[in-house]
Structure 1
Amino acid sequence: MSKNKESELEVAELSEDMEMIGPGVMLRDARIKLKMSQEDIALRLNFKISLVKDIEEDNLDKSLPATYNRGYLSSYAKVVGVDKEDVLASYDALGAAHIQRSEMQSFSKATAKQAEHSRLMWISYFIVAVLIGLTVMWWVQESRDKPKALPTAAEPSEITKVSEESDTLTIAPKLSPEGETEKQQLSSQTALEEKSTDTAVTVQEAVPESSNQSTDLQQQSSNEQATTLESVAIETNALTDESTAVETSSIAVFTFAGDCWVNIFDATGERIAWGVKKAGYVMTVTGVAPLKVTLGKPELASIEFNGEPVDMSAFNVGNIAKFTLPLSP
């Protein structure tokens, strides 16, 4: 049973409890006991028959002032011998009952509207909840359907770093054709000529801070030299079979009194030594003469070429020295 029906039943029960004898019923019963007709009352009181009927049916004109209606009831009560006070009290009670019924009906209507409003609110809440649920489901589905992000490419700085490390660890190149050899020699000479005295000093200052790295480079240089020598020996033998002239190797011994940067190529374009050499380091290199030598600080190096000492006094202190072995007369 809905709340609206329950409210209507409560109003009906209260209305039944408020049923009472109206003034019209009291006057009608008294008239009937006196065996008088409505026409007799109308003649005695000079009323219209319709007014007598309205009085007996408690259907007095509400547009008239209450004083007029009370006067009609008092006159009717006198004719039929009913206590006027009882009739007027019944009239007042009947008016109060009507007011209470109206109030109860208004309350019933308000309750019904409130129940209807409550139902609408619950329906609205349900619709909103369904929309939220559908939105969440759609979002989850979209998240699942999205392709996974592709791995990001390596940063340029990382690529550069790897490239630099690869260049550092690369073993010396093998023998090249004469055209490429001359090109490499010219490129190396051009790059070295662009270095200034400040560059040599900067290299000298940076070396003590990375002594461990220099030691590693020396070890690596020794290993690479051994590998290079083996490669040169194998390929030189192959070239010897094809060439008409046999090239002889020269030996140069470098002794360093301080940290010095060095870069050496032989006549075939093969780089046979490079890097920073520490103080006290003795380096022996073998290659096809003439050897093209670049020293960062020539005053820190003493050289023997094929067992003969090399005069280094011709090179300026603190400047990069570039020369060939044997020295030109």
Structure 2
Amino acid sequence: MDPQTDSQAADGGRVLIDHAHEGHFGARLRAAREARGYTIEACGQALRLPVRLIRQLEAGEYGGIDYQVYLSGYLTKYGRHVGVDEEAIQAELARLAPRQRQPDLVVTGGVSHSRYLLERYVTAATYVVLTAIIVVPMVWLGVRGTLDRDMPRLAPLDASPVAQQDAPATSSTSAAAVASATQPQAATPAETRPEDQQPVLASMAMFPPLDHSAARTPLATSAAAPAAAATGQGGHELTLNLPSASWVEVTDATGQRLEYGILPAGTQKSYHSDSTLDVRIGNAGGAQATLDGQAVQLDGFRRANVARFRVDIRDGKAAPVSY
């Protein structure tokens, strides 16, 4: 009778490990291999197992094999190869079954759903706030800098010196001057704010974002200068008649400016030249221009209340053209 069966009968059917017979099945494996004339190397090559592992199986040294499933596979495969009975193989596997180690249970703590949601949304909100703190100031600075640099400044076409030049023309008698002198307090507020009565139009030139009072200084200076009746020399004559204050720029072919500034209302001025002239007139709604005595239709050259044309001279004749 097999010792394994005796041990089970004596202990009420419990499976015990008989350390005294651990080498018994290994000896049967070795005897079966030698009976067939196999070498350990030939068996290892046929079964694709290491020679060291086959030696451990024949010696009954199972301690180097970590898991029971591997040990059962090795014993079954090697026993069938050398011709050991299937019953003997199963008996050895049953004897070794208690050697299998159950995996240890690991206790893990759970997280409540509310805490999970809180941590999730707090993290997302933190990223959103940090992104807003970094991006919003950069966008604001970029947009503000672009607007200050690119937007044209609005400047009145009339300045205080021009308004002061028109004031004597409106006075018809010396009695009105005496009356204004007797009431200095009433006249002072009207003179300190002449810009409130002037039309505000966009200048055709781009100005840097400087102080408005400093930017107006060149315009006021040019407007305060007395306008001459004629400017330049040449056989062709361009005459401008301005019923209202207008911003005027006249440039010759060399790039020299014959006129650049605000001319007061009622100005009539002529420009003489034998070469091309570039003309720009702001507030051109009522302005009139003649070229060598011929009227120039400014409506065809006007855009957004600004007339812009070029005096082109060909074959001794001057004619206005667009540019």
Fold conserved between structures, TM > 0.5: no
Q: Return the index of the structure with the highest Cα Rg.
A: 1
The structure with the greater share of residues assigned to helix is: 1
Q: Which has the higher contact order (CA 8 A, sep 6+)?
A: 1
The structure with the greater share of residues assigned to strand is: 2
> What is the TM-score of this pair, normalised by structure 2?
0.29
